[in-house]
């Protein structure tokens, strides 16, 4: 048997991300639970190097760093796009494919170019993964992982969302994450799936 989950009580919590789109999504997910979120950027916290070899490892190192530096509870997300025909790439390197300027139009184009080189028989199946880690200042940490499956479209569609959202069409839907209203995406995304597990365990 594992250790019992530690309940998350109301109060301040750092969202350990400098990605404005990600911070906005997490704030929206936290809104009903009496938690007062503040972003790492607002607190001037640096972004640690993501040296983990999995989404969970990277989420945990970001959460630990933010909790250590702020003295507050910290929630970190590590997420990315995994393309089956590319052997799971870009995966944990999803943000790096966007380059130093975080240009996800470039990243989406790179994914498409790799798929074209793989040939028409390669398929366009993909999934998003999100690991959420919540760390307390005393080092206690809990991690939850969610996934959503879909296919990639080209050209990208829609100006909502962020990252690879405009080229990701979730299974059973006609709109990409880039076309969906935020509420519709929040209801079914990989981040929402991880968050549902967090809520069930910690509230």
Catalytically active residues are 78
Query: 86: number of CA atoms within 13 Å, CB side?
Result: 22
SS (H, E, C) the chain: CCCCCCCCCCEEEEECCCCHHHHHHHHHHHHHHCEEEEECCCCCCCCCCCCCCCHHHHHHHHHHHHHHHHCCEEEEEEEEEEEHHHCCCEHHHCCHHHCCCCCHHHHHHHHHHHHHHHCHHHCCEEEEEEEEEEECCCCCEEEEEEEEEEEECCCCCCCCCCCCHHHEEECCCCCCCCCCCHHHHHHHCHHHHHHHHHHHHHC
Phi and psi (nearest 5°) for 132?
A: -115, 125
Task: Return d(Cα 56, Cα 83) in angstroms, integer.
Answer: 18
């Amino acid at each position: 048997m594992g250790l019992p989950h530690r309940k998350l009580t109301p109060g301040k919590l750092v969202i350990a991300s400098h990605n404005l789109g990600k911070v906005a999504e997490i704030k929206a997910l936290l809104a009903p639970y009496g938690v007062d979120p503040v972003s790492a950027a607002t607190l001037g916290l640096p972004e640690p190097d993501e040296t983990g070899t999995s989404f969970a490892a990277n989420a945990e190192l970001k959460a630990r760093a933010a909790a250590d530096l702020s003295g507050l509870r910290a929630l970190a997300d590590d997420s990315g796009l995994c393309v089956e025909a590319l052997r799971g790439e870009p995966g944990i390197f999803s943000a790096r494919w966007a380059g130093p300027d975080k240009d996800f139009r470039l990243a989406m184009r790179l994914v498409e170019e790799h798929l074209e080189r793989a040939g028409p028989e390669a398929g366009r199946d993909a999934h998003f993964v999100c690991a959420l880690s919540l760390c307390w200042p005393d080092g206690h940490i809990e991690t939850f992982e969610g996934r959503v499956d879909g296919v990639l479209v080209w050209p990208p569609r829609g100006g909502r969302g962020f990252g690879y959202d405009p080229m990701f069409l979730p299974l059973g839907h006609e709109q990409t994450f880039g076309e969906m209203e935020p509420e519709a995406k929040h209801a079914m995304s990989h981040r929402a799936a991880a968050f549902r597990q967090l809520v069930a365990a910690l509230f």
